[in-house]
Amino acid sequence: MKTSCFSVILWIAATQLQAAERVMWDPAQPYSAERSSPVTYDTELVVTVTPPAKTQLLKVWMPIPLNDQGQDVSSSEFTTFPERVQPQFNTEPVFGNRFAYFEFPDPLGAQILRHTFQVTVWELRWNLDPTRIQAFVEWPDSFAPYRRSEDQSVVFDARFETLLLDIVPVRHNPLDDFRSVMTFVDRNFTYDHAHASLQASSVHALELRRGHCSDYHGFCAAMGRLLNSPTRITYGINTFPKSSPSHCKLEAFLPPFGWVSFDVSETQKLAQAIHANQELSNQERKTLIDAANRRLMQGFRDNTWFVQTRGSDYQLIPPARGPVPVVRTIYAEADGQPLSDPDPSNSQEKKFAWMTSHRFVTDHPISYPFKDTHSLKEWANKDQQ
């Protein structure tokens, strides 16, 4: 009898502990990652929008990066040229993204929007331990936007379910299952700007097995949701010279670590560059590639990128023509018609409705860890998980 009562007490205590932990699981909870190596950037983002001739009303929504455990933003200021327009500031209610909204009545020629601010960015490391990650069947209602299948971008249907059975025939630890999905993408997807959706389209990625960062991560987000892990697309800015500063990462909610950042596409490109480096021995190439994949799988966000928007398929304020799949650097409409997103890294494209210019001044020299193999040395010395 005493043993039975003791067992009941243990069961009640375990149930209460699990309930308490679930209360803590909130999509708005802060990152749990260790942060280090802060870098401060004086940032200038300039967007030149060219509406069609005789446009009566040009509307532009420009993301405003928010503060979180990985970044601190200050001294934000917006200006426009040649028309002087004061923005409205609004927050969309689903994911909490904040935007500056501009209206240009009867615009004549290109309109230039300029956002200057200072941002301090930290490197984030989650140091994931698969044995600590918990799998649960039911999630609080607050996670519904991160688990839905009816997005314009993160979609999963019977084709995804069939493929998932091939990738993960038997479910194990949530991180191990998610690792299998990312490994499949690394081995089967081709990075291709000429065939990219620019909308984090999981369907585009499934059908073509190619695209750029958002297609890779839109696919992983869809598969993660099939694995019962909340996922989201995060779009941000790389803080170094490139054709377009926008870049997408993936986040998955893995209790008790919370939201964890992954960059599958940049890790793949880094591994391919290491593999092609003939100055390295076969063993050196293997060691560095293993280190790059280890860094990916343990959760890593670099200090050369800051997030601007999270989530996908949300309503802007004031309302746009409809929900937007994702916002990269801006979203614009001319007389209610969306202006197409540019991809200046696509060598086949010659015409753009708008273009982003950017400048970053750092408080000290910094290198991009997805090109600098020296950043992998400490990961090469760790035991593989």
How does DSSP assign 101-150, residue by residue? Answer: EEEEES--S-EEEEEEEEEEEEEEE----GGG----S---GGGGGGT-SB
Please identify which residue in the block is written with the tokens 């004086």: 42
CATH architecture observed for domain 126-306+367-380: Roll (3.10)
What residue spans of the chain are helical by DSSP H? 2-24, 158-167, 174-188, 202-208, 213-226, 264-276, 282-297, 377-380
Instruction: Judge residue 322's burial from the number of C-beta atoms within 10 Å of its C-beta, 0-12 exposed, 13-18 middle, 19 or more buried.
Output: exposed
Residue 81 to residue 83: CA distance in whole angstroms: 5
How does DSSP assign 274-324, residue by residue? Answer: HHH-TTS-HHHHHHHHHHHHHHHHT-EE-TTEEEEEESSSB--SS--SS-B
pLDDT at 29: 93
pLDDT at 133: 93
| pTM of full prediction above 0.85 | yes
Contact by Cβ (8 Å): 184, 204: no
Residue 322 to residue 320: CA distance in whole angstroms: 5
Q: Directed axis angle between helix 213-226 and helix 174-188, to 10°?
A: 140
What are the φ/ψ torsions at residue 180 (nearest 5 degrees)? -65, -40
Residue 157: which residues within 8 A CB-CB, separation 6 or more? Answer: 149
Q: For the chain, give every domain's residue range.
A: 36-122+313-362, 126-306+367-380
| Per-residue model confidence as pLDDT tens digits over 203-212 | 999 999 999 9
Q: Look at residue 382 and tell me whether its pLDDT is greater than 80.
A: no
Which of 3.40.50.300, 3.40.640.10, 2.40.110.10, 2.60.40.2250 would CATH assign to domain 36-122+313-362? Answer: 2.60.40.2250
Stretch 146-162: mean pLDDT, rounded?
94
Please report which confidence band the pLDDT of residue 243 belongs to, taking 50, 70 and 90 as the band edges: confident
| Per-residue model confidence as pLDDT tens digits over 304-337 | 999 999 999 999 999 999 999 999 999 999 999 9
Q: Which of 221, 258, 196, 245 is nearest to 34 (CA)?
A: 258
Please report which confidence band the pLDDT of residue 192 belongs to, taking 50, 70 and 90 as the band edges: very high
pLDDT at 13: 41
In this structure, the strands spanning 354-362 and 57-64 are unpaired
